[in-house]
């Protein structure tokens, strides 16, 4: 078998040899097993499905979290002459139909989709009709609630695999702890011997942690960069505002640095990225938005100006340094200043029990089909969007609801060509139909909104025909179309559940998640403050035990164990004036007032309700953000019950 797969490698891809781990994973898949490949970024995970896909009898279905990742992979596969396609949101219905036809006929061997595509009943219907040999889950750690970057929709993948009778699964990820690996393996029935981990340790990365007070960071960084001004590197920060500030300060110190963050427009961003790739900008000061899909091999340093979000994030981010194998430096500037803030973010994500009940009550009341606009439901229930998505997935897994399809509730258009001219393009019945769309729309100065009901009264036509017509007019440049209010339609499968019991069960699940997130933050701090070899610890965290001796080139091995300064002492809550800090918010919340909401307000944790009520400007907001949420909560509780 081994020889065989090497031949395939040469034949299809023109590569001479496999890289570490590839042969083992590929042979497992070709022998009919499910498998997992846990290799560092850039090690060649994609090949583990691309090669078998050419040999498997039926379709290889690849689920990927990012459109950009899909497009890169597709371009590569196609350049090797393998038939592959994606179905994604940028395509028209016709394009998608054409691709589905290609899959049905067996011409397309690899189909890439986002996980959200599976929420569409029409697409699931399609999938149930075509045989699929292999389900590939890229960035598979997204499936674990206990890992980082959890994507709620990923949780449903094992269920879909069963539903579509997909015999084999292949999971790909760069960063998975032992617990996450075990979790993934269990959910997809992967035998331990088919989980392949290549080493995590990279001997050319010098890890260093510097304990430092926030006020001293910039001076330290400037000095640290002085001998490195000719090199390429990335400085990661948490906030967009910090990215701007630090970039400016570095520039003032004569370092060729630019900021890069999600708040900048995409043209500017891709320009900066290009300058960095070409070497005309040396240092990028970025929020975590930077780096996905960056393929620059000579990045000589990665600095974490603020603590990374998790050890997994840290691993992924430093992984961008030294791809060419040359020594590279990774520095973390660490203190405990933002520890409470980090923890409090976690608390802000957990929905209140009463909020969960709001959602369940809607389900009970609607019977049959349940239509939601996620943003509105998030605001009605006061549950943050990501947590709401998680809740909906939990409900799906419990068999309470089932997604049917989604549609845009609102279609708006602006005429780019005058109406008679547009109508001139059509004859007889079609012309009447298009005219009826225009006539029935409610018009503002520039934009008109399609009124489906009024149109239907004038001219009987189903919604899909109207949408198709609008898409066509838009494509022909006759109108500019805007769609809004993505509405999800669920079928309610069980409406007679015990509301209190189910709410509690769901709430407990969120509480468990909260605890594990908090533990992860502590683990992160312990890691940076540790007196054991950093390389060794990091490798072990990712189940690589190959480094049996201390590495000899990290800051701990150099004898510099980081001392993380503790945040400035805060005044005890006993001496804080409760009335003074909370009278405004309590008045504003009125009957919605609760211990959790008041505590969130004081800790500066926004919720959809707060956004609606614009509480940020009220006196007291975020005044206690440096205090642990749990302490604030007990304090508020004792005050409110007095
Ligand atoms: P990962 O998903 O693990 O981050 P990719 O699958 O994107 O990595 O692969 C990174 C690069 O390595 C790609 O350009 C790919 O074509 C190349 N590559 C993969 N396997 C091999 C191989 N056996 N020989 C040469 N190049 C390879
Ligand atoms: Mg990849």
Query: In 3D, which of 343, 303, 337 has the Cα closest to residue 565?
Result: 337
- Which of 83-92, 141-150, 281-290, 498-507 is predicted with the least confidence, judged by mean pLDDT? 141-150
What is the three-class DSSP state of 606?
coil
Q: Residue 2's pLDDT is what?
A: 44
Nearest residue by C-alpha to atom 12 in ligand 1? 44
Taking the C-alpha atoms of residue 262 and residue 287, their distance in angstroms, rounded to an integer, is 8
Give bridge partners of residue 286 from the DSSP assignment: 236, 260
- Which of 15-24, 219-228, 293-302, 375-384 is predicted with the least confidence, judged by mean pLDDT? 293-302
The residues whose Cβ lies within 5 A of ligand 2, an ion, are 45
Closest ligand to Cα 320 = 1
Query: In 3D, which of 541, 542, 536 has the Cα closest to residue 39?
Result: 542
Q: What is the rounded radius of gyration, in angstroms, for the C-alpha atoms of the chain? A: 27
Closest ligand to Cα 297 = 1
Q: Which atom of ligand 1 is nearest to the CA of 22?
A: 23
Q: Which atom of ligand 1 is nearest to the CA of 15?
A: 24
Give bridge partners of residue 329 from the DSSP assignment: 206, 301
How sure is the predictor about 569, in pLDDT bands with cuts at 50, 70 and 90?
Answer: low
Whether pLDDT at 534 is above 80? yes
Q: Which two tokens stand for residue 152?
A: 């709620």
Which residue has tokens 């609760």? Answer: 594
Q: Kindly report the number of other CB atoms within 10 A of residue 354's CB atom.
A: 14
Whether pLDDT at 465 is above 90? no
How sure is the predictor about 289, in pLDDT bands with cuts at 50, 70 and 90?
Answer: low
Q: Which two tokens stand for residue 88?
A: 């994604």
Fold of 205-334+529-541: Rossmann fold (3.40.50)
Nearest residue by C-alpha to atom 5 in ligand 1? 44
What is the three-class DSSP state of 498?
coil
Query: In 3D, which of 602, 591, 592, 607 has the Cα closest to residue 639?
Result: 602
Q: Which atom of ligand 1 is nearest to the CA of 48?
A: 6
For the stretch 432-450, pLDDT in tens is 999 999 999 999 888 999 9
Q: Which atom of ligand 1 is nearest to the CA of 43?
A: 3
When comparing pLDDT for 69 and 238, which is higher? 238
Closest ligand to Cα 47 = 1
Give bridge partners of residue 232 from the DSSP assignment: 299
Rounded to the nearest angstrom, the distance between the alpha carbon of 11 and the centre of ligand 1 is 16
Give the residues surrounding ligand 1 with Cβ less than 6 Å away.
Answer: 15, 18-19, 22, 39, 41-47, 76
Rounded to the nearest angstrom, the distance between the alpha carbon of 45 and the centre of ligand 1 is 7
Mean pLDDT of the chain, nearest integer: 91
Same fold, 2-197 and 205-334+529-541: yes
For the stretch 388-421, pLDDT in tens is 999 999 999 999 999 988 888 889 999 999 999 9
When comparing pLDDT for 578 and 341, which is higher? 578
Closest ligand to Cα 25 = 1
Rounded to the nearest angstrom, the distance between the alpha carbon of 15 and the centre of ligand 1 is 10
Average pLDDT over residues 577-602: 94
Whether pLDDT at 1 is above 50? no
Rounded to the nearest angstrom, the distance between the alpha carbon of 445 and the centre of ligand 1 is 53
Fold of 2-197: Rossmann fold (3.40.50)
**Where are the chain's structural domains?**
2-197, 205-334+529-541, 417-477, 573-640
């Amino acid at each position: 078998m081994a020889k065989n797969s090497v031949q395939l490698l040469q034949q299809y891809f023109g590569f001479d040899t496999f890289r570490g781990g590839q042969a083992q994973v590929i042979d497992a898949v070709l022998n009919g097993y499910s498998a997992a490949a846990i290799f560092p970024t850039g090690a060649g995970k994609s090949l583990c499905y691309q090669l078998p896909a050419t040999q498997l009898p039926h379709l290889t279905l690849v689920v990927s979290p990012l459109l950009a990742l899909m497009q890169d992979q597709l371009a590569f596969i196609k350049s090797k002459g393998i038939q592959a396609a994606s179905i994604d949101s940028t395509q028209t219905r016709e394009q998608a139909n054409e691709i589905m036809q290609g899959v049905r006929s067996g011409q397309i061997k690899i189909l890439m989709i986002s996980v959200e595509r599976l929420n569409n009943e029409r697409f699931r219907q399609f999938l149930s009709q075509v045989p699929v040999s292999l389900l590939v889950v890229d960035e598979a750690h997204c499936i674990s609630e206990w890992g980082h970057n959890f994507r709620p929709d990923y949780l449903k993948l094992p269920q879909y695999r069963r539903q579509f009778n997909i015999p084999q699964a292949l999971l790909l990820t760069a960063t998975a702890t032992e617990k996450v690996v075990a979790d993934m393996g269990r959910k997809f029935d992967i035998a331990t011997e088919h989980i392949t981990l290549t080493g995590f340790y990279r001997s050319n990365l010098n890890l260093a942690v510097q304990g430092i007070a926030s006020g001293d960071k910039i001076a330290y960084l400037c000095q640290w960069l002085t001998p490195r001004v000719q090199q390429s590197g990335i400085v990661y920060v948490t906030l967009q505002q910090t990215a701007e500030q630090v970039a400016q300060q570095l520039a003032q110190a004569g370092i060729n640095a630019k900021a890069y963050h999600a708040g900048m427009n995409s043209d500017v961003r891709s320009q900066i990225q290009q300058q960095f790739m070409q070497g005309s900008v040396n240092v990028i000061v970025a929020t975590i938005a930077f780096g996905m899909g960056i393929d620059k091999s000579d990045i000589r340093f990665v600095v974490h100006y603020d603590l990374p979000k998790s050890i997994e994030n840290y691993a992924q981010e430093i992984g961008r340094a030294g791809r060419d194998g040359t020594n590279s430096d990774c520095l973390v500037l660490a203190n405990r200043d933002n520890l409470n803030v980090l923890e409090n973010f976690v608390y802000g994500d957990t929905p209140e029990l009463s909020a969960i009940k709001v959602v369940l009550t809607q389900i009970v009341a609607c019977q049959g089909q349940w239509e939601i606009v996620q943003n509105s439901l998030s605001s009605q229930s006061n549950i943050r969007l990501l947590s709401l998505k998680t809740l909906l997935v939990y409900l799906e897994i419990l068999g309470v609801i089932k997604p049917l399809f989604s549609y845009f509730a609102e279609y708006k258009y602006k005429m780019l060509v005058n109406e008679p001219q547009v109508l001139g393009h059509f004859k007889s019945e079609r012309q009447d139909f298009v005219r009826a769309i225009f006539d029935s729309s409610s018009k503002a100065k520039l934009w008109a909104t399609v009124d489906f009901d009024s149109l239907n009264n004038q001219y009987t036509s189903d919604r899909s025909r109207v949408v198709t017509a609008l898409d066509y007019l838009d494509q022909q440049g006759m109108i500019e179309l805007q769609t809004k209010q993505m509405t999800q339609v669920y079928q309610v499968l069980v409406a007679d559940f015990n509301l209190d019991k189910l709410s509690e069960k769901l709430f407990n699940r969120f509480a468990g998640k909260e605890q594990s997130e908090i533990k992860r933050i502590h683990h992160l701090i312990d890691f940076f403050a540790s007196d054991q070899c950093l390389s060794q610890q990091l490798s072990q965290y990712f189940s690589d035990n190959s480094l049996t001796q201390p590495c000899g080139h990290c800051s701990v091995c150099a004898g510099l164990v980081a001392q993380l300064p503790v945040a400035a002492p805060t005044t005890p809550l006993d001496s804080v004036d409760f009335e003074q800090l909370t009278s405004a918010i309590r008045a504003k919340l009125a009957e919605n007032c609760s211990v959790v909401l008041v505590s969130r307000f004081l800790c500066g944790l926004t919720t959809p309700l707060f956004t609606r009520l614009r509480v940020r400007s009220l006196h007291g907001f975020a005044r206690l953000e440096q205090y642990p949420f749990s302490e604030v909560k007990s304090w508020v509780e004792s005050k409110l019950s007095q």
